[in-house]
Amino acid sequence: MTDAVWVRRWSSVSIITIVGLAGIIAILAFGPLFLGSYWTSRLTTLFIYIILAVMWNALAGYAGLVSVGQQAFFGLGAYVVIRLSDAGMPVYPAIALAPVIIAVLALVLSPLALRLRGGEFAIGMWVFAELAHLLVNLDSLIQGETGRSLIALSAFAPDVRRANNYWFALGAMTIFLALVFVLLRSRMGASVQAIRDNEEAAASVGVRVMATKRTIFVLAAAGCAAAGALTLSTLITFQPKTFFSVQWTAYMIFMTLVGGLGTFEGPIIGAIVFFIVESLFGSSGVWYLIALGASALVFSLWIPRGIWGTITARSGIQLMPIGYRLLFRK
Amino acid sequence: MLTATGATKRFGNFIAVDRVDFAVSRNEAVGIVGPNGAGKTTLLNLLAGTYPLSAGSVSLDGLDVSRTDAAARCRMGIGRSHQVPRPFVDMTVFENVFVAASSGGSCTRAEGYKASIASLDLCGMLSNANRTAATLGLLDRKRLELARALATNPKVLLLDEIGAGLTDAEASELVTIILQLRATGITIVWIEHILHVLLQVIDRLVCMDSGVVIAQGKPEEALAHPAVIEAYLGSGVA
C-alpha cells in the first residue's frame, strides 16, 4: 500500500510563484534607473518594512517566540554602523557587517533570553531593548539623545546614495526572504513549528529545542539589525529614541497580524498594506495612528488569521512550497 | 535494556516516586498499574527524561542516561506517548509524524518520508495525513500520538494510558496496533487502567502505590498479591 503514496512539495502554483517572485526582484533591481527619486526612496522603505515583518513572523508565527523588544536589534544595528563608520570603515561595508555583528550578539544573548517563555520572553526582550537604549545613550560618541549623523554618507551625491540604499535594501530583503524560505523548507522548518505548537511534545519526539529556537532568534536579530542599519542610511541621523522606539516592533506586529501570522506570504502582504496606508494617510498625524490602532483591533477581533491566513484557510491555496502534501495513487 | 535503579522524584516535600527499581528487557512488554497518584506517570517521565531524577539512575542498554535530556533520549531509542495526546495542532498529521522521524529517528529526508508513511499506515492514519491535527477527534489523536512515537524508530516505547477515554471497541483497535508493534521487536512499557486491554499485550505486570512498587510478576500472580488487592479495594478485603 505504501508504494502508492508519495510526498509532494512543489506544485505548479508554487513554481509559478517562485519564478514570479524572482522575476519581480529582477525587475526591481533596475528600479533606480527608471523610478525617479521619490519612488526609489519610497520602495527602499517598503523593502525595509518587508524585512521587519518577515523577521517578526519567523520569530512569532513560526517559532512561537513573541517578542516586543525587536527594536533592540534594529537600534543596535544602526548604532553599530555609526561606530564602525567612526572607526574608519566605509559606510556600505559597515551596513553589510552590522547584521553579522548583531547576530553574534544575539547568539551570546540567546541562552538567557530563550530561557524565558511566553509572556516572560516578550517582556524580557522589551527590557533588553530599553537596556540597550540606555547603554547606547551613555556612549560619548552618541551624546545621549542628541544623537549623531552618519557623516560619511555626505561623500555620496544624493542620487547615488538613494540608489545605493535602494540596492542594499533590495539585496537584504532578498537574502532574508531566501534564508527564511530555505530554513522553513528544511527539516528544521517542521521542528520550529512543532516547538511553537507544543514545546514539551517536540522534545519528546527528539527535537533539539534550544538549538532550533536559537537559530530563529539569531536570524531574526540579524534581519532587524539589517533593517535598522538600512533605515539609518535613509535617515542619516542616528537618534537613540527614534531607533530604539517600541513603535518599530508595533509596526512589525501590525504588518504580521494584518497579513497573516504563521504564513510565509502574510507578512509580505501586511508590509505592502502598511506601506500603502502610510503613503496615503501618513501625513494626517494623530488620526493616522488612531486609524492604524483601530484597524489592528478590527483584524485581531474579526480577521484573526489576517488577509493571507484567511484566504489560504478558505481556498487551500499554498503559494510557497514549504509544506508537505501526501498524494495517493488511485 | 531500560533500567531504573533507585529512581526517586520529589516535588517539594512530596515524594512521587520513591527509590524504584525497574527494568524491562528486550522484546518484553511490561504493564504498570496502580491507583491514581501512585507515581506511574512520574516513573514514565523519569524513564523518558521529561523530569530530572531527584536521586537514582536510569540506563539504556547499559549506558547511563540519567543526565541526558528527553530529546536526546528519544534519539537514542526511547519513544513515548502522552496520556492526553499532544499533537502539533497547526501542522498536518503527516508533518506531525515527519518531525518525529527526522528529529527522533535521525532520518534523512527520504528515510523520514518512508518512516512517516509506514507509521501512519500501521496506525491507520494514512488517509488523514493531510488534515490539520487540530481537526482530529480523540481516537485519531491517540493514533497520531502512537504514530508519532513510532516514527522516532524507538527500541522501547513508553505508553501512558493510551486507552483512557476510549470505548472498548476503540481501545481494542489500539491493542491490535500495539500487538503488531510487539511483533516488530519493539519493547513496550505501558501504563493502563483498563486491565483487560492491558492483559492482551503484556508479559509482566508491575503494581505501584504511593510511589513504590508493591508487587510484580506474571499478570495473574501480581494481581492476586494481597498488597495489590488492598491498594485497589481498601484494607480488610484481602
A194 CB neighbour count, 10 Å cutoff: 29
Which cell goes with B194? 483498563
pLDDT at A3: 64
**Facing A2 at nearest CB: one of B71, B90, B118:** B118
Is B113 an 8 Å CB contact of chain A? yes
Looking at chain B, the domain(s) classified CATH 3.40.50.300 span: 1-77+154-238
Separation in Å, CA of B234 to nearest CA in chain A: 36
Using CA atoms, how far apart are residues A164 and A92, in angstroms rounded to an integer? 8
Statement: residue B233 has pLDDT above 80 = no
**Strand segments (E) across B25-155:** 29-33, 55-60, 63-64, 78-81
- Residue contact A193–B90, C-beta within 8 A: yes
What's the pLDDT band for B60 if we cut at 50, 70, 90?
Answer: very high
Strand partners, B11: B14
Helix B109-122 crosses helix B93-103 at what angle (to 10 degrees)?
A: 120
**pLDDT score, position B235:** 59
Residues 294-313 in A contacting B (C-alpha not used; CB under 8 Å): none
Enumerate the residues of chain A whose CB falls inside 8 A of the CB of residue B151.
205
pLDDT of residue A65: 95
Q: What are the cell numbers at A92?
A: 556600505
Contacts of B143 (CB under 8 A, 6+ apart): B123, B124, B125, B174, B177
Contact at CB, A206 and B105, closer than 8 angstroms = yes
| Among A residues 115-174, those touching chain B with beta carbons less than 8 Å apart | none
B106 touches chain A (CB under 8 A): yes
Per-residue pLDDT tens over the stretch B191-227: 998 888 888 899 999 999 999 999 899 988 888 888 8
To the nearest whole angstrom, how far is the Cα of B108 from the nearest Cα of chain A?
9
The confidence score (pLDDT) of residue B4 equals 95
User: Rounded mean pLDDT of chain B?
Assistant: 92
Longest dimension (CA), chain B: 60
Q: Nearest-5° angle of CA B70, CA B72, CA B78?
A: 70
- Taking an 8 Å cut-off on Cβ atoms, the answer to whether B126 and A205 are in contact is no
CA distances to A6, A131, A237 from A134, in Å? 55, 5, 18
Nearest to B48 among A7, A197, A204 (CB): A204
> Residues A61, A236: contact at Cβ < 8 Å?
no
Taking the CA of residue B198 and the nearest CA in chain A, the distance in Å comes to 23
Q: Within an 8 Å CB–CB cutoff, is residue A35 touching chain B?
A: no
Q: Is B52 on the interface with A (CB under 8 A)?
A: no
Cβ distance A187 to B103 less than 8 Å, yes or no, reads: yes
Chain B window 7-46: which residues touch A at a Cβ cutoff of 8 Å?
Answer: none
Please name the residues between 225 and 264 in chain A that touch chain B, using a CB distance below 8 Å.
262
Distance, CA of A143 to CA of A122 (rounded, Å): 29
Interface of B with A in 179-238 (CB under 8 A): none
Q: Check CB contact of A192 with chain B, cutoff 8 Å.
A: no
Cell of A140: 560619548
Does residue B102 belong to the interface with chain A, where contact is any CB pair within 8 Å?
Answer: yes
Contact between residue A239 and residue A116 where contact means Cβ atoms under 8 Å apart = no
A9 interface with B at CB cutoff 8 Å: no
Contact A47, A172 (CB under 8 A): yes
A212 closest CA partner among A230, A229, A232, A197? A197
Instruction: Tell me the fold of B1-77+154-238.
Output: Rossmann fold (3.40.50)
What is residue B7's three-state secondary structure?
Answer: strand
Task: Identify residue A73 by its one-letter amino acid code.
Answer: F
| Three cell numbers, residue B167 | 470505548
DSSP state of B107: -
Side-chain-facing half-sphere of A170: CA atoms under 13 Å: 21
Could you tell me the three cell numbers for A192? 520550529
Closest of A111, A113, A135 to residue A124, by C-alpha: A113
* A204–B50 CB contact, under 8 Å: yes
Whether the CA torsion A57, A59, A63, A64 is positive or negative: it is negative
Three-class SS of residue B3?
Answer: strand
CB contact under 8 A, A201 and B88: yes
What's the CA gap between B187 and A317, in Å, rounded?
A: 42
Cβ distance A206 to B75 less than 8 Å, yes or no, reads yes
Q: What is the pLDDT of residues B11-47, one digit of tens each?
A: 999 999 999 999 999 999 999 998 888 999 999 999 9
Grid cell of A237 as nine digits: 541621523
- CA–CA separation, A97 vs A83, rounded Å? 12
Residue B71 has its nearest CB partner, among A6, A206, A323, at: A206
User: Does A323 contact B50 at a Cβ distance shorter than 8 Å?
Assistant: no
Q: What is the pLDDT at residue B226? A: 86
Question: What pLDDT tens digit does each residue of chain A (330 aa) get?
Answer: 556 888 988 888 899 999 999 999 999 999 899 998 999 999 999 999 999 999 999 999 999 999 999 999 999 999 999 999 999 999 999 999 999 999 999 999 999 999 998 899 999 999 999 999 999 999 888 888 888 888 888 888 999 999 999 999 999 999 999 999 999 999 999 999 999 999 999 999 999 999 999 999 999 999 999 999 999 999 999 999 999 999 999 999 999 999 999 999 999 999 999 999 888 887 888 888 888 888 888 888 898 899 999 998 888 888 888 889 888 876
Of A19, A25, A57, A20, which Cα lies nearest the Cα of A166? A25
A314–chain B Cβ distance below 8 A for any pair = no
Question: Which pTM value belongs to this model?
Answer: 0.92
What are the helix (H) ranges across chain A?
A: 12-28, 31-34, 36-56, 71-86, 91-113, 118-138, 158-185, 187-197, 199-204, 209-235, 240-243, 247-259, 265-281, 286-302, 306-315
Q: Which tens digit of pLDDT belongs to each residue from B63-93?
A: 999 999 999 999 999 999 999 999 999 999 9
pLDDT category at B238 given cuts 50, 70, 90 is very low
* CB proximity A4 to B under 8 Å: no
Interval B132-142 mean pLDDT: 93
CB contact under 8 A, B117 and A204: no
A263 CB-near residues (< 8 Å, 6+ apart): A57, A61, A306, A308, A309, A312
User: Is the CB of residue B157 less than 8 Å away from at least one CB of chain A?
Assistant: no
- Angle (CA) A290 A302 B93, round 5°: 130
- CB contact at 8 A, A101 and A95: no
Cα separations in angstroms, A126 against A54, A220, B5, B116, B156: 19, 15, 45, 41, 44
pLDDT exceeds cutoff 80 at B234: no
Q: Which of B18, B113, B235, B223 has the alpha carbon at shortest distance from A7? A: B113
Phi, psi of B7 (to 5 degrees): -65, 125
Buried/exposed code over A124-156 (b: 16+ C-beta within 10 A; e: otherwise): bbbebbeebbeebbeeeebeeeebbebebbeeb
Q: What is the pLDDT of residue A234?
A: 94
Question: Where do the domains of chain A lie, and which CATH numbers do they carry?
Answer: 2-328 (1.10.3470)
Indicate the residue of B48, B82, B121 with minimum beta-carbon distance to A2: B121
pLDDT per position as a tens digit, B3-19:
999 999 999 999 999 99
